[in-house]
Chains A and B, each alone.
Chain A
Amino acid sequence: MTDAIVAEGLVKTFNGTVKAVDGVSFTVKEGEIYGFLGPNGAGKTTTLSLLTAVLGPTSGRATVDGLDVFHHPHDLKQRIGLVFQESTADQDLTGRENLEMAAALFGVALRETPRRVDELLERLALADSADRLVKTYSGGMRRRLELAVGIIHSPRVLFLDEPTLGLDPQGRAGFWKIISDLRKDHGMTVFVTTHYLDEADGMCDRIAIIDHGKIVAEGTPSELKDRVGGDVVTVRPLGKSDGLEAALHALPGVTAVAVQDGTFRVKCPSGDVLIPKVVAAASSLGIGLASVSLRRPSLDEVFLEFTGREYREDEGPTATDRAVFLTRLQNSRRGQR
């Protein structure tokens, strides 16, 4: 498998002082879905803007589909598709007119254009509203049109910048099913920035976690979870907890104990086996427990592990939102099979 995207030491500084991207290097294999995960302001969109020649770098180099991004920006735009975070379709034009214009701008053959436009309208469930002005479209329809514009010329590499921002769980699951189908049908390489942990976990082959402009971890979702060190048992004592940390360390199978705001996070290979031992250890020290909970490794844990802080709720969807999204994603995958 060849490399579709190679970034080497990318640095982007704004106004000479603000380092938005700080020495980012990674490679994306052809046909992969590669996720760039991080909170708002981490440097995701700036990295994507560098790779799509929207921004020039302060230093570093990058190739996309074998082309030097910073020396051949015009040729690059012909080969890539770009879906922006915000809606960029022309609201005073219909969905079909937007697609026809994009086809002309990307040089889709004239005789191919009507067929390609119809095919995309159908595939993205926009056929019924194709001749309506975009200003009458719902948020989900606009996102799908945005994607259609981005892939009108069948690009080899597709860049998606927070593509499902603002969509409801159903809309997000539907959007990802389309991306997944496109990858399957055309072998398209996809680079996606997101701050939705569940999306990165469920859809990406590999993930890079970016924070303060630097990649702090990279790997497949399961590799990253393994690096956290298995399950995490969270122990909240009722009052004083003298001696508890040492007692937890001494328990068999415990690989690490971290204390934050009086709460103990205990890593171990099998949490359900450890919990009775934790309760017993606390009881033997005369320490009452407010709660003991078990968390299987998730990207939340990965994020905490590599950045040293919790992934804030306002940076991602709510727990309910995520549960609904994952259910729908699983359902759509079952339907696919």
Chain B
Amino acid sequence: MNFRRWSALTKRELLKLARNPAAIGTSLLLPVLYLILFGQGFSFTSFLNSLPPAQRTAELDQLVLGAPDYFSYFAAGMVGFVSVTATLFIGANVIFDKLFGTLKRAAATPATATDIFGARLVAGSIQPVGLAFLVLGLAILLGDVGLAGLHVTAQVTVVGAAEVVAAILLLSLMFASLFLALGFTIDQPQTYFAVVNTINLPVLLTSAALYPWGQMPAWLQSIASYNPVTLAVEVLRINFFGGSLYPHPAAVYLLGLVGWAVALFAIATFLTARALAPKT
């Protein structure tokens, strides 16, 4: 990869993003609505408040693996959720650049497929990573204004904070790779959105992002254990609420996430190079 070419292409992506405040605004809206409408209304663990403390803790341990309430559990899960939903559009942008000819222009220069892919990957991951931290900040803030909010009950160490950041970065880069690969491979926006929706929902619904773990049937728990969204949000939950109820330390979940990210990155770079090679 050539640094100057990569940085020029990255700058282009960031300029386009900065000049489209409507897109930034609408991407903020979805997680905010989830936190305020769904999160507040669905904060079902409040019915446990009437139980004696020991019994309440036991119930919460079983349901949400040591989180102080469902909202706190859900807020960590929302980070996984936004990493998927906010990266969807970077693949669509590739398709629009194909239709408008700008991708053809870049491919006619000495820029390699790695330069083009790398620029879009990094620029495209900035928004979901930013949104993830915004979700965490807003979730904590909601608790401070008397609503259901994110209550971090464990002592977050420097290593723990680094693990949280790494999990958010890896998850965003991984889904950005996946959606970029689809964008470079598919030519029509309609087909792209059909494929993405087919991937998006099953990935989220087979993860522990929103479901209380204790309420999931065993077969779904087995699937969710390998889901990258689950792996990422478990890293957050272990660091926010303690890891005694989890079968592995956060580092193991991170390692699983690295495996997913490497595999998807390799597939995506291969597909991008193939899409940008001279057509035979």
- Which chain A residues have a beta carbon within 8 Å of chain B's beta carbons? 52-58, 70, 73-74, 77-78, 82, 84, 86-93, 97, 100-102, 104-107, 110, 133, 149
Q: B111 on the interface (CB 8 Å rule)?
A: yes
A87–B101 Cα gap in the complex (Å)? 7
Could you tell me if A104 and B105 are in contact, using CB atoms closer than 8 angstroms?
no
Could you tell me if B278 and A105 are in contact, using CB atoms closer than 8 angstroms?
no
List 10 contacting pairs A-B, 8 Å CB cutoff, sorted by A.
A54-B278, A55-B279, A56-B279, A87-B101, A90-B102, A93-B12, A97-B12, A101-B8, A105-B8, A107-B110
Could you tell me if B12 and A77 are in contact, using CB atoms closer than 8 angstroms?
no
Known: A73-B278, A92-B19, A107-B4. A101 touches B11 (CB 8 A): yes
Beta-carbon contacts of B18-29 to A below 8 Å, as 1s and 0s?
A: 011000000000
Q: B109 on the interface (CB 8 Å rule)?
A: yes
Which one of B12, B108, B279 lies within 8 Å of A101 (CB-CB)?
Answer: B12
Q: B280 on the interface (CB 8 Å rule)?
A: yes
B226-280 contacts to A (CB < 8 Å): 278-280
User: Which of A52, A54, A110 is the most central at the interface, judged by chain B CB atoms within 10 Å of its CB?
Assistant: A54
Could you tell me if A93 and B108 are in contact, using CB atoms closer than 8 angstroms?
no
A86–B7 Cα gap in the complex (Å)? 26
Q: B47 on the interface (CB 8 Å rule)?
A: no
- List 6 A-B pairs, minimum CB-CB distance, nearest first: A104-B8, A56-B280, A88-B101, A88-B105, A105-B109, A56-B278
Could you tell me if B110 and A104 are in contact, using CB atoms closer than 8 angstroms?
no
Q: B112 on the interface (CB 8 Å rule)?
A: yes
Which one of A74, A90, A93 lies within 8 Å of B110 (CB-CB)?
Answer: A74
User: Which of B20, B105, B107 is the most central at the interface, judged by chain A CB atoms within 10 Å of its CB?
Assistant: B105
- Determine how close the nearest CB of chain A comes to the CB of B124; give it in whole angstroms: 15
Which one of B7, B9, B101, B279 lies within 8 Å of A84 (CB-CB)?
Answer: B101
A133–B18 Cα gap in the complex (Å)? 14
Could you tell me if A89 and B12 are in contact, using CB atoms closer than 8 angstroms?
no
B3-54 contacts to A (CB < 8 Å): 4-5, 7-9, 11-12, 15-16, 19-20
A105–B9 Cα gap in the complex (Å)? 8
Q: B165 on the interface (CB 8 Å rule)?
A: no
Could you tell me if A105 and B106 are in contact, using CB atoms closer than 8 angstroms?
yes
Q: B100 on the interface (CB 8 Å rule)?
A: yes
A73–B278 Cα gap in the complex (Å)? 9
The bracket for how many chain B residues form the interface is 20 to 34
Q: Which residues of A contact B104 (CB under 8 A)?
A: 54, 84, 88
A110–B112 Cα gap in the complex (Å)? 19
- Determine how close the nearest CB of chain A comes to the CB of B158; give it in whole angstroms: 38
Could you tell me if A97 and B15 are in contact, using CB atoms closer than 8 angstroms?
yes
A116–B100 Cα gap in the complex (Å)? 26
Q: Which residues of A contact B20 (CB under 8 A)?
A: 92
User: Which of B7, B19, B101, B110 is the most central at the interface, judged by chain A CB atoms within 10 Å of its CB?
Assistant: B110
Which one of B5, B102, B108, B280 lies within 8 Å of A104 (CB-CB)?
Answer: B5
Identify the closest chain B residue to A76 (Cβ).
B110
Identify the closest chain A residue to B16 (Cβ).
A92
A308–B251 Cα gap in the complex (Å)? 76
Could you tell me if A88 and B102 are in contact, using CB atoms closer than 8 angstroms?
yes
Q: Which residues of B contact A87 (CB under 8 A)?
A: 101
Known: A88-B105, A105-B8, A107-B4. A77 touches B110 (CB 8 A): yes
A104–B4 Cα gap in the complex (Å)? 6
- Determine how close the nearest CB of chain A comes to the CB of B193; give it in whole angstroms: 22
A88–B4 Cα gap in the complex (Å)? 21
Identify the closest chain A residue to B108 (Cβ).
A82
Could you tell me if A54 and B108 are in contact, using CB atoms closer than 8 angstroms?
yes
- Determine how close the nearest CB of chain A comes to the CB of B7; give it in whole angstroms: 8
Could you tell me if A78 and B110 are in contact, using CB atoms closer than 8 angstroms?
yes
Known: A55-B279, A104-B4. A77 touches B108 (CB 8 A): yes
Identify the closest chain B residue to A101 (Cβ).
B8
Beta-carbon contacts of B89-114 to A below 8 Å, as 1s and 0s?
A: 00000000000111011111111100
Could you tell me if A105 and B101 are in contact, using CB atoms closer than 8 angstroms?
no
- Determine how close the nearest CB of chain A comes to the CB of B191; give it in whole angstroms: 19
Q: Which residues of B contact A86 (CB under 8 A)?
A: 101
A149–B105 Cα gap in the complex (Å)? 9
Could you tell me if B105 and A84 are in contact, using CB atoms closer than 8 angstroms?
yes
A70–B109 Cα gap in the complex (Å)? 15
- Determine how close the nearest CB of chain A comes to the CB of B83; give it in whole angstroms: 25
Q: Which residues of B contact A53 (CB under 8 A)?
A: 278
- Determine how close the nearest CB of chain B comes to the CB of A72; give it in whole angstroms: 11
Could you tell me if B109 and A106 are in contact, using CB atoms closer than 8 angstroms?
yes
A58–B9 Cα gap in the complex (Å)? 32
Could you tell me if B16 and A77 are in contact, using CB atoms closer than 8 angstroms?
no
A57–B112 Cα gap in the complex (Å)? 21
Q: Which residues of A contact B111 (CB under 8 A)?
A: 105
Identify the closest chain B residue to A58 (Cβ).
B280
Q: Which residues of A contact B4 (CB under 8 A)?
A: 104, 107, 110
B196-216 contacts to A (CB < 8 Å): none
A86–B101 Cα gap in the complex (Å)? 7
Could you tell me if B280 and A90 are in contact, using CB atoms closer than 8 angstroms?
no
Known: A84-B105, A87-B101, A97-B15. 13 other contacts (CB 8 A): A54-B104, A54-B107, A54-B278, A57-B280, A78-B110, A86-B101, A88-B101, A90-B102, A93-B15, A100-B8, A104-B5, A105-B5, A105-B106
A107–B110 Cα gap in the complex (Å)? 8
A102–B4 Cα gap in the complex (Å)? 11
A74–B111 Cα gap in the complex (Å)? 8
Q: Which residues of A contact B15 (CB under 8 A)?
A: 92-93, 97
- Determine how close the nearest CB of chain A comes to the CB of B105; give it in whole angstroms: 4
